[in-house]
Amino acid sequence: MTGQDESAVAQTGDAGYEERLRAFTGRELRPLTLAQDPVNQPMIRHWTEAMGDTNPVYTDAGAARATGRGGVVAPASMTQAWTMRGYAATASPPAGRDGFDELVDLLDEGGYTSVVATDSEFTFLRELEPGDHLAVRETVESISPQKRTGLGTGRFVTTVKTYTDQHGETVATQRWRTLRFRPAPEPAERRNEAQEQASAPNPAGKPGAARAPRPRPAVNLDNAFFFDGAKQHRLLIQRCAACSTPRHPPGPCCPECNSLEWDTVEASGHGHVYSYVVNHHPRHPAFDFPLVVAVVGLAEGTRLITNLTGVAPEDVTIGMPVVLDWLDADPDLTLPVFRPAPTEAP
C-alpha cells in the first residue's frame, strides 16, 4: 500500500475504501435518459444567436442543401444541451438515487468534498438534424489513485457520456473529467484574519467589511496585469497593439484581427450600467445581500462584470451613469467596483 493510499484509509477509517472506489470503474452512473425535446429549429436559432454563430447551415435550409446536406443541421456543440434536464427538474429533482449519487457519497466519505472540472473531450459521429431525438447514458471510465494538486489532495474521476439517436445509433461520445479534492488548508495568517473578520461587525453595504475572505480570482499570465493594476487603484484594460481594439476579459489573442500582440490602457473610470442582476441566493459570508452584479459599459468601448455599491437594488436602471470605486477586500486583493455617478447641479 502506498503512502497516499494509507492517507486515504486514515481519512475514511475503512481498509476497503480503495476497493469500493475501484468497483465503480465501468459502472453506470446515469441510466439511458431521453431528452425532453427532439432537435428543433427554434432552439438551434436561439443557440446560434446567443453564441453569435452566423453559419447559415444552421438556420437556412437552402444554404445547407448547397453544401450537400439534406437541410439545416444543429451545431455540434449543442449535443449536450439537447439532453440537459432543464430548470424544473434541477429545482425539483425526481425522487430516488442513482449511481452518481452513490459515487459522490463515497468520495465525500474520503474527504473529497470539492470539485472542479478539468476537461471535456467530445467525439461527434454525425451531424444532428431537426427531428432527431437523443438519449444519453453515463458510465465511469476510471478513478485515479490519490494525487497531490495545487488545489489539494484528490482523485481524477473520468466518465463517458454516450449520446444515441431515436434508432439507438451512437451520434457522439463525451469524455468528462473532474477533480474531486480535499481543499488545502489555508495559511495560518489568512485563517486568523478570517476568524477576526468573522467576529467583527458587518455594516450593510460597507465595502471591505465582509465576514469572510473574498473568494480568490484565478490569476494567470493573461490577466495578472489587471489584478496588479487594481492593487495600485488603476483599472487597466487590455488593448490590441495591432488594431487598438480594447478587450475584457483579458485573453492571449485579439478577437478582431487575431494578433497576439497587446498592451494596456488605463480606463477613465466612467461608464454606464449595460445590464445587471440582483443576487439573493446562494449566500456567501464574504458578501452583503442583496448583491447587485452589473455589466458596466466603459467609456473606452468594452465592458466588465463588477459589483455596484452605494445604491439600493430598486434604484438601479439600465443606462445609469456610474463611476469607478475600489474595494480593498484584504491586503492581497483589490477589486474595481462602481457606484452611481454624482448628479450635476442644474
**pLDDT at residue 187 greater than cutoff 80:** no
DSSP collapsed to 3 states, 289-337: CCEEEEEEEECCCCEEEEEECCCCHHHCCCCCEEEEEEEEEECCEEEEE
Mean pLDDT of all residues in the chain?
86
Give domain limits for the chain: 17-39+74-85+96-181, 218-266, 269-345
Q: Give the per-residue pLDDT at 105.
A: 93
Picking from 337, 324, 227, the residue whose alpha carbon sits closest to that of residue 268 is 324
Phi/psi region, residue 305 (left: phi>0; alpha: psi -120 to 50; beta: rest), is beta
Q: What average pLDDT does this structure show over 21-41?
A: 94
Radius of gyration for the chain, computed over Cα atoms and rounded to the nearest angstrom: 25
At the fourth CATH level, which superfamily is domain 17-39+74-85+96-181?
Hotdog Thioesterase (3.10.129.10)
Q: What are the b/e assignments for 22-54, b being 16+ CB within 10 Å?
A: eebeeeebeeeeebeebbeeebbeebbeeeeee
**CA–CA dist 75, 64 (Å, integer):** 12
**CA–CA dist 263, 242 (Å, integer):** 10
Rounded to an integer, what is the distance from CA 312 to the centroid of its chain? 27
Q: What is the pLDDT of residues 295-321, one digit of tens each?
A: 999 999 999 999 999 999 999 999 999
Q: What is the pLDDT of residues 255-285, one digit of tens each?
A: 899 999 999 999 999 999 999 999 987 788 8
Can you tell me whether residue 106 is helix, strand or coil? helix
Name the pLDDT band for 196 (thresholds 50, 70, 90).
Answer: low
Question: What percent of the chain is modeled with pLDDT above 90?
Answer: 68
Name the pLDDT band for 345 (thresholds 50, 70, 90).
Answer: low
**pLDDT at residue 7 greater than cutoff 50:** no
Q: Give the per-residue pLDDT at 185.
A: 65
119's CB contacts (< 8 A; 6+ apart) are 177
Residue scoring higher pLDDT (73 or 191): 73
- pTM comes to 0.57
What is the DSSP code (8-state) at residue 222? T
What is the DSSP code (8-state) at residue 78? G
What is the DSSP code (8-state) at residue 315? G
Name the pLDDT band for 6 (thresholds 50, 70, 90).
Answer: very low
**CA–CA dist 183, 191 (Å, integer):** 14
**pLDDT at residue 198 greater than cutoff 80:** no
Which alpha helices (H) appear in the chain, and where do they start and end? 3-12, 17-22, 41-51, 61-66, 79-83, 86-91, 99-109, 188-199, 224-231
* Cell numbers found for residue 162: 454516450
* Cell numbers found for residue 201: 461587525
DSSP 39-67: --HHHHHHHHHHHT---GGGT-HHHHHHT
Backbone angles phi, psi at 43, to 5 degrees: -70, -35
Question: What percent of the chain is modeled with pLDDT above 70?
Answer: 87
